[in-house]
Amino acid sequence: MSRFLKLFSNRNSILMLSVVLGLIIGDLAHHIKGYTIFILALVMTFSTTGIDIRSVFPLKNSLKIMVSAITLNYLIGTTVIMILSLLFIKDIYLFYGMVVIGASPPGIAVIPFSVILKGDLNYSIIGTLGAYLSAVFIAPLLILIFTSGSMSPFPLFFMMVKIILIPILLSRLLRIKMIYPFVERIRGRAIDIGFAFIIFIAIGLNRQVFFSDPDVLLLISIILLFATFGLGFFYMRFFGRYFGNIKENISQMLLLTIKSSGFTAATSLALFGERAAIPSAILSVVVLVFLLFLSIREETISK
């Protein structure tokens, strides 16, 4: 019994369970899909409590890291995703779902996995913060460009404020000395459960794709596998070998390849509907497999 409980207190196990439940009892997702934005805002609030604003100073050094993170996530990662999507995806709602993935900031998993993979934690924290702040402006702009301006920019901007900027500000309140120890104890579990709910909703609403639409599943999976495994391997093998140091390279690789599946699922559902969330459902599985692969690889190398 204790072994069973230990298994489901593990982050990867919880997220994998959400995928399985989404496939088995995904019809329940229709009853809770209206809460995805609220859940994401809550997850973002707890996630960003781990970011100490004091680590941003001196500002000169931090700005270099932030620009680097924005370049990796948006200029390189997003460009690869959008070129492949423009070339191969013809369904307009699936394409819109890929646009949201391209517009996504890095996943908050970049920070804990920088520790697991022996990357540069401070680099990851500052880079993630910079990418999140820039996403308030960059994400609406990218969505407007690739959806041919079919949406008003103001709802997009205010949505980014609700799910990124306000949670960052609220997280400062949770860092107050009197309550931060309690927040620190429950933060990891709150984030895991929140992401699990979002992944369950995204997969549950589109479970038929996993069973009856293999062409869509395969096409989007190939694009996302290339944008994670392929891009990550290429960066570490060719660029990471000659520039920077290995710790920074690991953090940079994570900022380049890990898009926020929670952000993409909630945003796709809110803006474009259930079919647009299919790429996000597949992304959640691909990112989970990628992170599991990296952690197992690191354990093997360390032995």
Each residue's pLDDT tens digit, 143-173: 999 998 777 778 888 889 998 999 999 999 9
Q: Domain residues of the chain, as ranges?
A: 32-167+190-302
Q: What does the pLDDT read at residue 152? A: 75
Architecture of domain 32-167+190-302: Up-down Bundle (1.20)
* Res 235: pLDDT: 92
Reading the chain (303 residues) residue by residue, the pLDDT tens digits are 445 444 445 777 888 888 899 999 988 998 998 899 899 899 889 988 878 877 787 888 899 999 999 999 999 999 999 999 999 999 999 999 999 999 999 988 898 888 888 899 889 999 999 999 999 999 999 999 999 877 777 888 888 999 899 999 999 999 998 999 999 999 888 888 888 898 899 889 988 888 888 899 999 999 999 999 999 999 988 876 666 688 999 999 999 999 998 899 999 998 999 999 999 989 988 998 998 899 888 877 766
Q: DSSP secondary-structure letter at 33? A: G
Nearest to 56 by CA among 119, 129, 161, 121: 129
pLDDT given for residue 302 in this prediction = 67
What is the average pLDDT value for the chain, to the nearest integer? 88
Buried b (16+ CB within 10 A) or exposed e, 176-194: eeeeeeebeeebeebbbbb
Does the pTM exceed 0.85?
yes
Show Cβ contacts of residue 196 under 8 Å, excluding neighbours closer than 6 positions. Answer: 14, 15, 17, 18
Strand, helix or coil at 258? Answer: coil
